[in-house]
């Protein structure tokens, strides 16, 4: 294992300090307990949007703290949920009279710890559970995992809160975006967790892992490596079976890299996915290509589709200024 590391025990602490120093215009770091919060002021009564999860998925979630998106993010150790005291401290530091909305990926540790924090918090709060990974059946024992679609939820709901939506409206909107979003991923290699010093699973040179998660877990099946066009067919078929988009439907198409996949390949995958939907008469109104929800150094990518309506499209276009996502319309 070759990594830029001093000590696996201090990796997160040192990295989060570096992140905060690199983006002092947008965020500030709080320690003991650790969380990142936005620097910019918010209007009184604004709903606070908070998310978080294990590290190793950067820029999710800390990279999405800032104007128009998250008010705070709580990073846990690598692939480990943050603790309730982190979430509680972040909420108490940022709450501004409008209540708190937690955006939670559907993993047992995240769900449990955010629920504990919500029970301890002495202000109005709600949660949105993201479960966009269609590689798992809807009736899976633990439910579907939250993966790259989390970014879509955070952006749209963050914009709504910035525009003055109240807590109930932000919650309803978040649930709507989750229902309209589906993701499917594929890995060409596993990731290497620093504390383990080895890949979490092995793949032969001629194999790929279809339906992989973002914590180095295996997917739903191991297949022989195929041309990119065939891989995209696997991914889009699973998404289409879930969302059942109709001709004329407007969508947001997101191709996300898992950490070790170059943009050269991600844009090729985007083109193939775009061709698939264009041939069906489905309208790609917005797109996002890049490395946003990672699994450390995994080689692979995911495709995410969100069915858009006028409200969601407007909120996606709304200005955002974070370390990893920023634009002005």
CA distance 172 to 156: 12
| Active-site residue flag, 215 | yes
CA distance 88 to 117: 5
For the chain, the C-alpha Rg in angstroms (whole number) is 19
146 to each of 66, 210, 251, how far by Cα in Å?
Answer: 21, 16, 19
Phi/psi of residue 257, nearest 5 degrees = -85, 145
Picking from 186, 185, 184, 228, the residue whose alpha carbon sits closest to that of residue 203 is 186
Q: What SS3 class is residue 170?
A: helix
The one catalytic residue among 23, 215, 254, 276? 215
| Active-site residue flag, 23 | no
CA distance 328 to 312: 16
Beta-strand ranges (E) seen in 147-220 are 181-187, 192-193, 198-199, 207-210
Picking from 83, 95, 149, the residue whose alpha carbon sits closest to that of residue 121 is 95
Contact 200, 3 (CB under 8 A): no
The one catalytic residue among 57, 61, 254, 276? 57
* Distance in angstroms between the alpha carbons of the first and the last residue of the chain: 43
Phi/psi of residue 237, nearest 5 degrees = -60, -45
Q: Catalytic site residues?
A: 57, 215
């Amino acid at each position: 294992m070759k990594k830029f590391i001093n000590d696996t025990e201090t990796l997160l602490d040192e990295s989060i300090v570096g992140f905060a120093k690199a983006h002092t215009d947008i965020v500030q770091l709080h320690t003991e307990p650790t969380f990142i919060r936005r620097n910019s002021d918010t209007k009184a009564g604004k709903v606070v949007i908070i998310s978080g999860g294990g590290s190793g998925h950067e820029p999710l979630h800390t990279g999405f703290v800032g104007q128009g998106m998250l008010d705070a993010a709580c990073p846990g150790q690598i692939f480990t949920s943050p603790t309730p005291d982190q979430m509680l401290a972040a909420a108490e530091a940022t709450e501004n009279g409008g209540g708190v909305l937690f955006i939670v990926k559907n993993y047992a540790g995240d769900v449990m710890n955010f629920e504990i924090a919500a029970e301890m918090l002495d202000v109005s709060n709600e949660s949105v559970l993201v479960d966009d990974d269609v590689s798992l059946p809807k009736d899976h024992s633990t439910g579907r995992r939250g993966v790259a679609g989390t970014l879509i939820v955070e952006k749209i709901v963050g914009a709504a809160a910035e525009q003055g939506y109240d807590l109930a409206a932000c919650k309803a909107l978040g649930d709507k975006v989750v229902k309209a979003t589906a993701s499917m991923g594929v890995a060409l290699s596993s990731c290497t967790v620093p504390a383990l010093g080895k890949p979490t699973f092995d793949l032969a040179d001629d194999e790929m892992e279809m339906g992989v998660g973002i914590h180095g877990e295996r997917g739903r099946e191991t297949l022989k490596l195929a041309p990119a066009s065939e891989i995209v067919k696997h991914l889009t078929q699973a998404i289409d079976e879930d969302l059942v988009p109709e001709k004329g439907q407007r969508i947001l198409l997101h191709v996300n890299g898992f950490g070790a996949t170059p943009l050269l390949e991600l844009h090729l995958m985007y083109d193939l996915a775009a061709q698939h939907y264009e041939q069906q008469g489905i309208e790609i109104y917005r797109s996002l290509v890049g490395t946003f929800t990672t699994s450390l150094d995994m080689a692979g990518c995911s495709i995410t589709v969100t069915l858009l309506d006028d409200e969601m499209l407007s909120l996606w276009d709304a200005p955002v200024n974070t370390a990893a996502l920023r634009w002005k319309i």
